[in-house]
Chains A and B, each alone.
Chain A
Amino acid sequence: MTNKILLLVEQPHLKKEPPQFSVGDTVDVATRIIEGEKERIQIFSGIVIMKKGSGTNEMFTVRRIVNNEGVERVFPLHSPFISRVTVKRSGESRRAKLFYLRGRVGKATRLTEKRKVTKKEDGTKGTDKPELAATAT
């Protein structure tokens, strides 16, 4: 989106620190669910197979297998109902949309884990996200 006025309108509705993850990552998406008065958190975990849109319109799709049946959920990235997204595993993917995973079952759905380039350096071992700058070089 290039319109400056629309960016201005969307600005207060965007998360200040949007969750960082990329396509191919295995994530836990914590969604706030309001049942009457009570509020609880439900976690949906699976592989991010696509991200699309920009601004408040940014969405991501998470796919997982439940009872041998593929389930996909689409989440708005900036929704207040998405309380957090934690990356469990970073899979390597050469494409932006992993629709080819839909035709696969069992072991074939796995992605090779991203190699952490910063492993040799100190203190970075525990981070979920590999250094993007380092992988680019």
Chain B
Amino acid sequence: MTPALLGTKVGMTRVYDEKGSVVPVTVVQAGPCHVTQVKTVENDGYSAVQLGFNDCKPKHSTFALMGHTAKASLGPKRHFREIRLNEETTLAAGAQVGVELFSDVQYVDVIGTSKGKGFAGVMKRHHFGGQCASHGTERKHRSPGSIASRATWRGQSGKPKKGVRMAGHMGMDSVTTRNHPLVKIDKENHLLLIKGALPGPNGGLLFVRKAVTAKVKVVES
């Protein structure tokens, strides 16, 4: 199976590598996940596995979802995610997968939901420069400035162009951060130590997978 797991972000700390330098790491409690469904080419047209993560009480699930997990003889799960596979997997529904999937992985991609920032202005949301602090500027120091002219779309009415960057809701987006070096795997406690900061708050749900584009460093033996 392609190394991929669901997990929760625990928090950041720093560890020392074998040279003694400091490595900033984010601790992710990844798995153990359970295979809730196996999709095959004959049955579904493509091969994939569906992972379920985090047991929950029946009252937090639905009858439909509980019936779905019961097919794999599992209890109700809080989170699900499907992982596309190039080849058919040998895993059966109900099997448990954990961080041992990542044992020969050097780089990972992480997908999470960023922290919500509420309704944010253009300086925070799009890194606009804002207006002058002085030179006659009054009550307009953080405003976006002009968004259109009377002839923005020549010949048409002076409407702002589609996609003009303005103030609005920021955060709570799905964010993918790629090519984080995987520092350490703790199989006993189901932990992954991933270098760098990851999206979302502590306790948030993360999807960790083997990096798609990273160059793999060849270790000289």
**A residues in contact (CB < 8 Å) with B:** 1, 3, 5-6, 8-10, 13, 55-57, 76, 78-81
Measured in the bound complex, the distance between the Cα atoms of B13 and A55 in whole Å is: 9
Residues of chain A within 8 A (CB-CB) of B14 are 56-57
Nearest 5 interchain pairs by C-beta: A80-B20, A5-B10, A13-B15, A56-B14, A13-B16
Q: Are the C-beta atoms of B10 and A6 separated by less than 8 Å?
A: yes
Determine how close the nearest CB of chain A comes to the CB of B83; give it in whole angstroms.
25
Q: Which residue of A lies closest to B18 (CB)?
A: A80
Chain B interface, >50% SS class: strand
21 pairs, A vs B, C-beta closer than 8 Å: A1-B13, A3-B11, A3-B202, A5-B11, A5-B27, A5-B29, A5-B189, A6-B10, A6-B13, A9-B13, A9-B15, A9-B27, A9-B191, A55-B13, A56-B13, A56-B16, A79-B20, A79-B22, A80-B16, A80-B20, A81-B20
Complex CA distance for A91 and B15, rounded to whole angstroms: 32
> Is B55 part of the contact surface with A, judged by Cβ < 8 Å?
no
Which chain B residues lie closer than 8 Å to A80 at the CB level?
A: 16, 20
Of B20, B22, B193, the residue contacting A9 (CB under 8 A) is B193
- Contact digits for B22-56, partner A, Cβ 8 Å, 1 yes 0 no: 10010101000000000000000000000000000
B87 at the interface (CB under 8 A from A): no
Given contacts A5-B27, A56-B16, contact A76 B22 (CB under 8 A): yes
Interface centre among B14, B20, B27, B202 (most CB of A within 10 A): B14
Q: How far is the CB of A33 from chain B (nearest CB, A)?
A: 11
Interface code B90-111, partner A: CB below 8 Å = 1, 0 otherwise?
A: 0000000000000000000000
Whether A79 and B16, one on each chain, are in contact in the complex, defined by CB atoms closer than 8 angstroms, is yes
A3 to B11, CA, bound (A): 8
B186 touches A (CB below 8 Å): yes
Alpha-carbon distance between A1 and B14 when the two chains are bound, in angstroms? 13
Beta-carbon nearest neighbor of A76 in chain B: B22
Once bound together, how far apart are the Cα atoms of A3 and B189, in whole Å? 14
Chain A residues with CB below 8 A from B191, complex form:
5, 9
Which chain A residue has the least Cβ–Cβ distance from B15?
A13
B residues less than 8 Å from A13 (CB atoms): 15-16
Q: Shortest distance in angstroms between A38's beta carbon and chain B's nearest beta carbon?
A: 16
User: Is the beta-carbon distance between B186 and A9 smaller than 8 angstroms?
Assistant: yes
> Which chain B residue lies CB-closest to A8?
B189
Tell me whether B15 and A56 are in contact (CB under 8 A).
Answer: yes
CA distance A3 to B13 in the complex (A): 11
> Using an 8 Å CB-CB cutoff, how does the interface string of B175-206 with A read, 1 for contact, 0 for none?
00000000000100101010000000010000
Q: How far is the CA of A6 from the CA of B13 in the complex (A)?
A: 7
Apart from A10-B13, A78-B16, 17 more pairs, CB < 8 Å: A3-B202, A5-B11, A5-B27, A5-B29, A5-B191, A6-B13, A6-B27, A9-B15, A9-B186, A13-B16, A55-B13, A56-B14, A56-B16, A76-B22, A79-B16, A79-B22, A80-B16
Which residues on the A side are within 8 Å of B22 (C-beta)?
76, 79
Q: Which A residues touch B202, using CB under 8 A?
A: 3
Q: Smallest CB–CB gap between B203 and chain A, Å? A: 10
Contacts of A81 on B, CB cut-off 8 Å?
Answer: 20
